[in-house]
């Protein structure tokens, strides 16, 4: 295990004292009795035939919480694999969008950090496929001890090109811990997924041969929201750049990420923010998530990190209501928020 302790940009602390926990526990004892958890994130039957056969189109399928199946350039990617039925003593609020046994073989797994709601060793073991794990610095040895041999770890801003895609580990404002002894011994962050230059050139050459507009040119401007794929979702490109933010409080790093990458879709957290005095340094509010979306310059926003587990005092309905209210206040076009049900596949290019 790494003996190094990691920290946040600008040394923002996220540690809480026992007094903080006692205050939170006292406040929530009566508050949670008034909370309405009747709203459940909608679930649609996943298109398993498509997901198992697809090796061409880019797509995003929300499994739940921070777990996505991303298909890009023929590569099957899973983010923060958690199919757990419980988190601590809390039962899962909604079933995963795709049962673990129905998942297609996985090529890549991206881990944002080691908290249990973002990394389930049991789920990871049960995922089919000869999967390569990309993880934050400090986590590789722990996973190798668990029997995972194909592991590469990254510090912030480090990149690797694998199977035609470039993966870059980018900062977030958070913390991590799995045992009483490993506080901040591994890092935390998000991931940028973009086609490698070689892949983009090859795809452009193929399109030019067919007499079509190059992919590189198509990325110069955001596609019109009027273009819609099956299910009424926006059509993007064969060559999208995706940003999976992991878990984060609001920080200036969102602007820096946006300045370094031209992002098509940002998957950003909106839940586990209440009480804000306690959660603020580590979890964005829905309004802050919208500001992070603006900061990154992304074209579309897929909300995540809500609706699966009771991690804080907010409910899934409250998170979505505040997201919609904030969207109106910030005058962000409605179609730029793509709120996925569990199990739905957003096909980013409609062939």
> CA angle, 117 as apex, 113 and 118 as ends, to 5°?
35
- Residue 197 — pLDDT band, cuts 50, 70, 90? confident
- Angle, in degrees to the nearest 10, between helices 316-330 and 286-296: 50
Neighbour order of strands in the sheet with 345-347: 151-154, 132-136, 108-110, 75-79, 67-72, 59-64, 345-347
Structural domains in the chain plus CATH codes: 46-347 (3.60.15.10)
Give, as one character, the DSSP assignment of residue 36: -
CA distance 286 to 323: 5
Please give the sequence-ordered ranges of beta strands (E in DSSP) within the chain, or none if there are none. Answer: 59-64, 67-72, 75-79, 86-87, 90-91, 108-110, 132-136, 151-154, 159-162, 165-170, 190-195, 242-244, 265-269, 300-304, 345-347
Residue 276 pLDDT exceeds 60 = yes
pTM of the predicted model, to two decimals?
Answer: 0.90
Torsion of CA 13, 16, 17, 21, to 10 degrees: 160
Provide the phi-psi class of 14: left if phi over 0, else alpha when psi is between -120 and 50, else beta.
alpha
Q: What is the pLDDT of residues 294-322, one digit of tens each?
A: 999 999 999 999 999 999 999 999 999 99
CA-wise closest residue to 156 among 175, 136, 141, 142 = 136
> Do 311 and 64 contact (CB within 8 A), yes or no?
no
CA-wise closest residue to 263 among 239, 241, 292, 294 = 241
> Do 5 and 284 contact (CB within 8 A), yes or no?
no
Beta bridge partners of 282: none
Burial letters for 304-316: b for 16+ Cβ neighbours within 10 Å, e otherwise? bbbbbbbbbbbbb
pLDDT the model gives residue 14: 74
Beta bridge partners of 267: 244, 302
- Residue 10 — pLDDT band, cuts 50, 70, 90? confident
CA distance 71 to 78: 9
Average pLDDT of span 195-218:
58
Q: What is the pLDDT of residues 98-141, one digit of tens each?
A: 999 999 999 999 999 999 999 999 999 999 999 999 999 999 99
Residue 1 pLDDT exceeds 70 = no
Burial environment of residue 179 by CB neighbours within 10 A (0 to 12, 13 to 18, 19 or more):
exposed
- Residue 222 — pLDDT band, cuts 50, 70, 90? very low
Residue 11 pLDDT exceeds 90 = no
Tokens, residue 342: 């569990």
CA-wise closest residue to 171 among 298, 256, 273 = 256
Tokens, residue 33: 């009795």
Q: What is the pLDDT of residues 245-262, one digit of tens each?
A: 999 999 999 999 999 999
């Amino acid at each position: 295990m790494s003996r190094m302790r990691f920290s946040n940009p600008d040394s923002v602390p996220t540690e809480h004292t026992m007094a903080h926990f006692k205050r939170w526990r006292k406040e929530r004892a009566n508050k949670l009795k008034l909370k309405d958890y009747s709203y459940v994130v909608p679930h649609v039957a996943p298109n398993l035939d498509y997901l198992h056969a697809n090796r061409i189109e880019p797509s995003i399928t929300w499994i739940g919480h921070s777990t996505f199946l991303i298909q890009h350039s023929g590569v099957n990617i899973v983010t923060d694999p958690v199919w757990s039925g419980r988190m601590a003593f809390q039962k899962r609020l909604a079933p995963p969008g795709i049962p673990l046994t129905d998942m297609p073989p996985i090529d890549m797994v991206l881990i944002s950090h080691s908290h249990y709601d973002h990394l389930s060793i049991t789920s990871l073991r049960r995922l089919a496929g000869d999967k390569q794990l990309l993880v934050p610095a400090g986590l590789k040895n722990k996973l190798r001890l668990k029997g995972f041999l194909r592991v590469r770890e990254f510090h912030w801003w480090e990149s690797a090109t694998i199977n035609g895609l470039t993966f870059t580990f980018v900062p977030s404002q958070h913390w991590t811990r799995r045992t009483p002894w490993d506080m901040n011994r591994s890092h935390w962050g998000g991931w940028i997924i973009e086609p490698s230059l070689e892949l983009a050139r090859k795809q452009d050459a193929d399109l030019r041969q067919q007499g079509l507009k190059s992919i590189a040119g198509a990325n110069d401007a955001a596609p019109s929201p009027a273009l819609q794929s099956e299910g009424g979702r926006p059509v993007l490109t064969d060559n999208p750049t995706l940003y999976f933010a992991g878990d984060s409080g609001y920080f200036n790093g969102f602007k820096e990420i946006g300045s370094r990458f031209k992002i098509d879709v940002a998957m950003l957290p909106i839940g586990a923010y209440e009480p804000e005095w306690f959660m603020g340094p580590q979890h964005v509010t829905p309004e802050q998530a919208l500001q992070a979306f603006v900061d990154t310059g992304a074209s579309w926003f897929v909300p995540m990190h809500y609706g699966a587990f009771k991690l804080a005092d907010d409910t899934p309905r409250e998170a979505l209501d505040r997201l919609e209210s904030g969207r109106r206040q910030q005058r962000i076009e409605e179609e730029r928020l793509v709120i996925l049900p569990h199990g739905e596949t957003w096909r980013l290019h409609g062939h």
